[in-house]
Structure 1
Amino acid sequence: MARLSDLPDDLLVKILSYLPTKVAVSTSVLSKRWQFLWMWLPNLEYSNSNDYSSRDYPESATLREIFDRMRSTTLREFVDKNLPLHRAPVIESLRLDLRYRSIKPAVLKRWVEISVSRNVRELEVSYDSKSKNIFPGSFYTCASLVILKLGFVNLMDVPSTGSLCSLKTLKLQYLEYANQGSLQRLLSICPVLEELSVHFSGEGECVKEFTIIVPSLRSLSLLIPNCGNIGGYVIDAPSLTYFKLEDRYAKEHYAKITNVPNLREAYVDVVSFNVKGLIRSITSVKRLTICSQ
């Protein structure tokens, strides 16, 4: 039976890629050969949403010791030291779940910039940026980015001249939009976008009206809560095949769904006064589910 030490480095990195990042890092204490193997990982996940617990610890006393050292070293210090030195030529995915502790926006902005320089393909950021911009200018011209998931961040200073030319999946959850045009400008620089999900927060919402005009879009999910001040919206997506709308805003507002000739499946959960108009605008749909209050 082959021992781990007999396996080539690329296979060991493959094995490490199936482990959580924090566990993969802990293998660096095994030997000199293992010290930097984790730094070739193509997928990275850093989170401060919860602490290490007893169930995270392996049986080995040595590995428990490295976990203790990791706990005593702040996440910021660890990522600041290691992310610029990461050896993988391409970061396939980077997940930053940083909602519950104080990391300055300038620090996160630096991490995003590093990931862009490493041709990141999937980026997920959950962070309460408190009206601060966390995206460098290079982010909006990242040609490698295919999947982008953002939660709670402030979307501001979006350039109209940028180009996320490879972005196909965009998920925006409870963002703070700096102004009325932030969402529109972001969508306008995504020429091949196929999947879009937007969950509005409703609290302190700057977006009163919005228009989604994306010719390449195939799947769209919208959640509009029963708060805020939405005046209405327009959706124009000729390639759309799947549409999910949860419009719970009780006050009267307009909802125009136009130019969706390829729509095949729709799930509509809206207040009663919007139902008839919506149904008339999606006559091409083959499968329709309606929930109305």
Structure 2
Amino acid sequence: MAAESNCKRRRIVAEEDRISSLPDCVLSHILSFLPTKTSVATSILSNRWRHIWKHVSVLDFSDDFRDELLFEKVRRNNKLFEHFQNFSVFVNRVFSLRMPYPIEKMSLSCVKSLYNIELCTSSVDTWVRSVIGPHLKEFSLEIDPVQKYQFQPPIALFTCTNLVSLRQASKPFHLIGEKLSIYIDPRFAEEIRLPSLNYLKLHMSNVDIHTMNGFLDGCPILETLDTRLFSFNYNKLRVPSTLKRLKISSVGYGCSCLEMDLYSLGFDDLNTFSDVGNLQNVVKASLDVFRCSDGCYLAHKLVNFFNVLSGNKTSIFEYFNNKVATR
């Protein structure tokens, strides 16, 4: 009787598991929407799922330190490097076991534990280089430093002809006056060529005007720009006329004002606030300003600027965590 019941239960489960009957290409596409750690975990479901994750062309790695409580626990126990080692073993194993299909999307988020700088640097550099190629369409790198350190992505990343979205972000050790952990060598500025890029997020360390303009000159069809600028390093930026969405976070001891027209946008002192040109292609613009000594004066100048944007679909000014719609 028990054997008959178990047999019946297995038949019901088999009938309900319709997803496993889907083609490999469909299953791998479904897994591409999951974090890689979760995708790999499906290999224990059954023999049918054992190798499906190896065909996924999307990689999403995170060392789980987005959980602040976990980070504090590991940090207090002086196990940051041990945690990075475990994370590194997992990532390396995924690269070694997956099928040799080109990577189309890659997201890497990790904490740099610098008890062994050479190992950490080598690991991240190897992972980034492993996905660079003509098939790469989206790339995201997020590093939250625990010590003063900078990682320099390989220049080959900035010459991927089919790259559509590029996100590079790192948190400052202290908001003002400290370096972030992702860095681009200014000497490579003129080598940047991203002809297909339409989304760019750059939250990196102390990029000078030459480097940033080199970056933007290499992105002729850019539509969205999200960047963090140190006001004492920036004067004017050049962006393509295709720009539609803009977000600037101004970080520094002084206050900055945004100047933007169809072909360029820039930063200058509030005392020299100038007229703004044609903004008809801009869909959304916002400006974050921190640590300003004269908030009322700043607000007055910025309201004048955002009034120029009144003909656009959406214009939002963010000031000390308050949002004021200009329309």
Fold-level match, TM-score > 0.5?
yes
- Partners of 1:51 and 1:235 lie apart in 2 by 35
Give the superposition deviation at 1:100: 5.4
**2:114 matches 1:96:** no
Shift of 1:86: 3.4
| AA partner of residue 261 (structure 2) | D
1:120 to 113, 130, 136: 136
**1:199 to partner: Cα distance:** 2.8
Match of 2:26 among 11, 17, 22: 11
Aligned-partner residue type, residue 23 of structure 1: T
Structure 1 segment 135-284 matched on structure 2, within 5 A: 135-152=153-170, 153-157=182-186, 158-173=188-203, 175-200=204-229, 202=230, 207-225=233-251, 227-229=252-254, 234-237=259-262, 252=270, 254-256=272-274, 257-263=276-282, 271-275=298-302, 278=305, 282=309
Count of residues in correspondence between the two structures: 263
TM-score of the aligned structures, taking structure 2 as reference length: 0.65
Pick which of 128-137 and 277-286 moved more.
277-286
Q: What is the rounded CA distance, in whole Å, between the counterparts of 2:287 and 2:153 in structure 1? A: 34
Pick from 74, 81, 99: which aligns with 2:86? Answer: 74
- What CA distance in whole angstroms lies between the structure 1 residues aligned with 2:219 and 2:129? 19
Unaligned 5+ segments in structure 1 are 53-70
Q: Distance in 1 between matches of 2:135 and 2:158?
A: 13
Output the CA distance in 2 between the equivalents of 1:10 and 1:142: 25
**Cα gap change, 1:81/1:291 in structure 2, threshold over 3 Å: closer, same or farther?**
closer
**Percent same amino acid at aligned positions?**
23
Q: 2-side partners of 1:35 and 1:112: how far apart? A: 26
2:11 maps to which residue? none
Determine if contact 2:55/2:99 at 8 Å carries over to the other structure. Answer: yes
**CA deviation map 1:109-137 (0-9, x unaligned):** 22111111372211111115755443212
Q: Specify whether residues 83 and 235 from structure 1 end up closer, same or farther in structure 2 by C-alpha distance, changes over 3 A only.
A: farther
Give the distance between the partners of 2:232 and 2:120, measured in 1 at CA: 24
Structure 1: how far apart are the matches of 2:319 and 2:300? 9
Q: Return the letter of the residue paired with 2:132.
A: V
Question: Which letter maps to 1:155?
Answer: I
8 Å Cα contact 1:262/1:284 also seen in 2: no
Distance change in 2, residues 1:275/1:50 (3 Å):
closer
More helix by share: 2
**Aligned residues of 1:213 and 1:235 also touching (Cα < 8 A):** no
Q: Deviations for 1:202-255, whole angstroms, at most 9, x for unmatched residues?
A: 5xx762323133221111111214x335666543335x9xx9x9x9x9x74545
* Cα RMSD, aligned residues only: 3.8
Q: 1:282 to 1:86 in 2, by over 3 A?
A: same
Pick closer, same or farther for the CA change 1:77–1:253 going to 2, 3 Å.
farther
Quote how far apart the aligned CAs of 1:167 are: 0.6
Which secondary structure does the structure 2 equivalent of 1:12 belong to?
helix
How far did 1:96 drift?
0.7
**Residue of structure 2 equivalent to 1:134:** 152
Q: Which amino acid aligns with 1:143?
A: T
Measure, in 1, the Cα distance between the counterparts of 2:272 and 2:121. 36
CA separation in 1, counterparts of 2:234 and 2:63? Answer: 33
Shift of 1:30: 4.4
1:94 is paired with a residue of what secondary structure?
strand
